[in-house]
Amino acid sequence: MARLLTVVAAIALLLVMGVSSAAPIPEGARPAPLYHATGVGATNTYRWHHGGEFSDTVAAVEDHRGVKRVTYRRLAKSERFPQPPITFKVEVSPAGVRVTDIVGGSAWRNRMAYWSFQPHQARWQYVSSTPWERATHTVTSFPPERVAVPAGTFDAVRVHDVWAYDAEGFGPQEQTEWWAPGVGVVKMLYQDHNGTESFVLKSFTRGDR
């Protein structure tokens, strides 16, 4: 059965004196969602369109001035694209998710390093010692939309990234990801001159809070 995730609203404490009714929770008092798993042991398992799988498991979480510093490990289960385990370190806050370090997968360093989940458009340039790695990214975030994947149905923010490399001979690339509160990415679509790649969330388990 598909599982529908909703953002957990703040719990209001009602002191009843005689006959009274609960006042609605002010919008500003509701906790802002975090678009990433933040419980140790939480595991997201993804399935590539070509049949391979990989899983992301949260190994550690540290609270630092309102930001959660999450370390998670990626383990690939694909014969077509075998990869050693990769460790990601990210900072998670209501403003977005920022990659701070990647260990074990140098190719991933060229990927988008920051995601924001407020509807907006942003542009920045990667700086690298290797000229062909320099690229200008244009990232647009959209309001939540309903997305159905094998793991369930989610209200997810769509983030669309288009990047162009400075070096000649590298065509534009596009990547769209759908992020759900408390879970992270539930669907990804990537496209360049070589074709398309995509994956969807197959299953997930929540970790310790």
Q: Name the CA radius of gyration of the chain, rounded.
A: 19
CA distance 45 to 54: 6
Contacts 24+ apart (CB under 8 A), 173-181: 175/111, 175/112, 177/115, 178/145, 178/147, 178/154, 179/35, 179/36, 179/97, 179/115, 179/117, 180/5, 180/35, 180/147, 180/154, 180/155, 180/156, 181/5, 181/7, 181/33, 181/34, 181/35, 181/155
Looking at residue 207, its pLDDT comes to 86
Looking at residue 11, its pLDDT comes to 22
Mean pLDDT computed over every residue of the chain:
76
Question: Strand 114-116 relative to strand 96-103: parallel, antiparallel, unpaired?
Answer: antiparallel
**On the CB side of 156, how many CA atoms lie within 13 Å of its CA?**
26
Looking at residue 155, its pLDDT comes to 95
Strand partners, 164: 136
Residue 44 burial (C-beta neighbours within 10 Å; 0-12, 13-18, 19+) = buried
Looking at residue 177, its pLDDT comes to 94
Looking at residue 83, its pLDDT comes to 73
CATH 2.40.360.20 corresponds to the domain 27-205: yes
Looking at residue 202, its pLDDT comes to 97
Looking at residue 36, its pLDDT comes to 94
Query: Do residues 185 and 191 lie in contact, with contact meaning Cβ atoms separated by under 8 Å?
Result: no
The torsion angles phi and psi of 182, rounded to 5 degrees, stand at: 75, -5
Looking at residue 132, its pLDDT comes to 57
Looking at residue 38, its pLDDT comes to 95
Question: Strand 195-205 relative to strand 43-48: parallel, antiparallel, unpaired?
Answer: antiparallel
* Low-confidence residues of the chain: pLDDT under 50: 1-25, 107-112, 128-129
Q: For the chain, give every domain's residue range.
A: 27-205
CA distance 8 to 201: 21
Assigned token pair, 157: 């923010």
Looking at residue 119, its pLDDT comes to 62
Q: How many residues does the chain have?
A: 209
Q: Which residue has the tokens 């320099």?
A: 134
* Helix intervals (H) in 55-201: none
Q: What is the pTM of this model?
A: 0.76
